Structure 1
């Protein structure tokens, strides 16, 4: 079967480790190739409807970073082994690798948003048998990836069962705290609205939503402001604060909140 992509490369099980698989596909949305790191749990061979939990990375990172700097696959495996959550595929795609970070929307003639919400899901379903018939997709992320999760989850509510973000940027202008590229470079084609505006526009179709932030995080003020605006506009959500900064020890510790949230809202039968 040809499938949806001109070229596909999938890692060989003989050389894979710790349940991680790597998938590279060529897509017009990126005008080139995109990478996806996957944790695929061991399940019965006849299972083809595992949920897909997408985790978006932050600036400077790529498809490998949630697993190999954050141990996301190990956290997921521990929770699945303990039956705290049901089996699911953890999908960790690249953001498209533009500059220090693409911010997960379309600019510079590349559709970084469609790469995530269409290509990543399609590539997994077509190449990972355990997800072939998946109908339960959730999206989460950290920092810039939190911005991506909140904005994409709200823009494409029909695609996702739940949204979760850690230490999220809430406005595009906050990218300037981290990246080398001027904000005007992101806005050459169209001005991109902030997270609250996107959520407000789609408030009646919004999937279940949660986000959290460390009390000493550089973005704590912005997350608190988003929480207040959502409350004032009657938009149902969960917001939590924990001790911590804008760093991996925080995200490693609280990823389990995202996985638990996704599990609750992923309705499927094994």
Structure 2
């Protein structure tokens, strides 16, 4: 029996570039949410595929990663070259609240559970190769990096890896991008408004983690600070800086690094709960 009252999925006869689209009625959204999905071709019915959830930034929606970065074309080429194994990409909308939902619960909606629960459940119901045994990963850009690192940290038993590109690291930084008052986004616990504090709270059950930022990005100092905080706390992670700003050319150039990082996790046995902390 479906978890959802309704799920609409695109007709394969009209799909192109191995993309399909799904619209799900979610209790957490109090309405419908969209998911753009890349499914690699030539997959047998018995295969179990890894899934990468890609979260967009402010102003965006389910189409952002494909139609602003062509990520599905890049992934297809990486699969063909053997850089990564066949994997499903799930690119959900953030819930389309204001300029961005921040992937947090607020204003009577739970945008966090929409990602962590509903997106995963909808894929399992409708996408061949996605099952409860599918390894899960999560990444995102800017606001999506904030969401990916927080949701990944809070759900370490669900995700094998998490990453962020040009990530917002604290709710306060949303004021750089949105017109909505920050009071709309406030959480009961202040720790839920900060990437580091969320990660630190769940430090013994973390997925593998990486993040990067462009040297010309307005968020570079915040990402450097997060890196320093994680190092000081002894929390294992990878951090990189590259030329570039807060822009699609940067994210297009570097999303492949996260996909390769996730592929590395597939080649290793699942970590025990203490491996997120350096000795």
TM-score, normalising length: structure 1: 0.96
CA shift for structure 1 position 193 = 2.8
Take 1:37 and 1:65, find their aligned partners in 2: how far apart are those partners?
9
Equivalent in the alignment of 2:230? 230
CA shift for structure 1 position 177 = 0.2
Equivalent in the alignment of 1:38? 37
Take 2:46 and 2:80, find their aligned partners in 1: how far apart are those partners?
17
Take 2:16 and 2:22, find their aligned partners in 1: how far apart are those partners?
14
RMSD across aligned positions (CA): 1.3
Change (3 A) 1:247 1:264: same
CA offsets per residue over residues 89-123 of structure 1, 9 Å max, x none? 01100000000000001001111010000100010
The structure showing larger relative contact order (alpha-carbon pairs under 8 Å, at least 6 residues apart) is 1
Where 1:14 maps in the other structure, the secondary structure is helix
CA shift for structure 1 position 16 = 0.5
Equivalent in the alignment of 1:167? 166
Take 2:187 and 2:155, find their aligned partners in 1: how far apart are those partners?
23
Equivalent in the alignment of 1:205? 205
Change (3 A) 1:188 1:206: closer
Equivalent in the alignment of 2:182? 183
Equivalent in the alignment of 2:112? 113
CA shift for structure 1 position 160 = 0.2
Equivalent in the alignment of 2:245? 245
Residues 59 and 144 of structure 1 are in contact (CA less than 8 Å); yes or no, is this contact kept in structure 2?
yes
Take 2:220 and 2:127, find their aligned partners in 1: how far apart are those partners?
38
Return 5+ residue gaps in structure 1 as ranges: none
CA shift for structure 1 position 188 = 6.9
Take 1:155 and 1:221, find their aligned partners in 2: how far apart are those partners?
24
Matches within 5 A, 1:12-23: 12-23=11-22
CA shift for structure 1 position 267 = 5.3
Take 2:227 and 2:188, find their aligned partners in 1: how far apart are those partners?
29
CA offsets per residue over residues 9-40 of structure 1, 9 Å max, x none? 00001110100000111010100001100000
CA offsets per residue over residues 153-206 of structure 1, 9 Å max, x none? 111111100001000000001000000101011117664331110111111111
Where 1:130 maps in the other structure, the secondary structure is coil
CA offsets per residue over residues 205-235 of structure 1, 9 Å max, x none? 1111000000000100000000001001101
Take 2:54 and 2:267, find their aligned partners in 1: how far apart are those partners?
19
Take 1:73 and 1:178, find their aligned partners in 2: how far apart are those partners?
27
Residues 150 and 165 of structure 1 are in contact (CA less than 8 Å); yes or no, is this contact kept in structure 2?
yes
Take 2:235 and 2:79, find their aligned partners in 1: how far apart are those partners?
31
1:69 lines up with 2:68 in the alignment? yes
Moved more, 186-195 or 39-48: 186-195
Moved more, 129-138 or 88-97: 129-138
Equivalent in the alignment of 1:88? 87
Take 1:224 and 1:188, find their aligned partners in 2: how far apart are those partners?
24
Equivalent in the alignment of 2:273? none
Take 2:47 and 2:108, find their aligned partners in 1: how far apart are those partners?
35
Take 1:186 and 1:36, find their aligned partners in 2: how far apart are those partners?
23
CA shift for structure 1 position 46 = 2.5
Take 2:118 and 2:111, find their aligned partners in 1: how far apart are those partners?
10
Return 5+ residue gaps in structure 2 as ranges: 269-279
Change (3 A) 1:164 1:84: same
Aligned residues: 267
TM-score, normalising length: structure 2: 0.93
